[in-house]
Homo-oligomer: A and B are copies of this chain.
Amino acid sequence: MQAINWKTTARDGNARTGVIQTRRSVIETPVFMPVGTLGTVKGERFEWLESEIDARIILGNTYHLWIRPGTDVITVLGGLHRFSGWNRALLTDSGGFQVFSLSELRRIGEEGVEFRSHLDGAKLFMSPEISMDIQAVLGSEIVMAFDECPPGDLGKEEIKTSVDLTVRWAQRSKDRFEELQAGGSDLGRVSFETSDLSGKQALFGIVQGGGHLDLRKESLERTVEIGFDGYAIGGLSVGEEKDVMYGVLGDLAPQMPESEPRYLMGVGTPEDILEAVSHGVDMFDCVLPTRNGRTGGAFTSNGDLNIRNATFRDDPSPLDENCKCSVCRRHSRAYIRHLYTAKEMLGPILISHHNLAYYLGLMADIRTAIREQRFSAFRAEVLAHRSAG
Contact = CB atoms under 8 A, between A and B. Distances in A.
A349 B77 contact: no
Interface string A348-384: 1110000000000000000000000000000000000
Given A38-B338, A83-B334, A335-B39, A69 B348 contact: no
Interface string A313-346: 1101000000000100011101101110110111
Interface in A13-46: 38-40, 42-46
Nearest to A87: B330
Interface residues of A, number: 40
Contacts of A337: 69
A314 B45 contact: no
Contacts of A348: 345
B344 A40 contact: yes
A38 B342 contact: yes
Contacts of A156: none
B42 A341 contact: no
28 contacts: A38-B339, A38-B342, A39-B338, A39-B339, A40-B339, A40-B344, A42-B344, A43-B346, A44-B346, A45-B326, A45-B349, A68-B338, A68-B342, A69-B337, A69-B338, A69-B341, A69-B342, A73-B314, A73-B334, A76-B334, A77-B334, A77-B335, A78-B316, A83-B334, A83-B338, A85-B331, A345-B345, A349-B349
Interface of A: 38-40, 42-47, 68-69, 72-73, 76-78, 82-85, 313-314, 316, 326, 330-332, 334-335, 337-339, 341-342, 344-346, 348-350
Given A72-B314, A83-B338, 5 more contacts: A39-B339, A69-B337, A69-B338, A73-B314, A78-B316
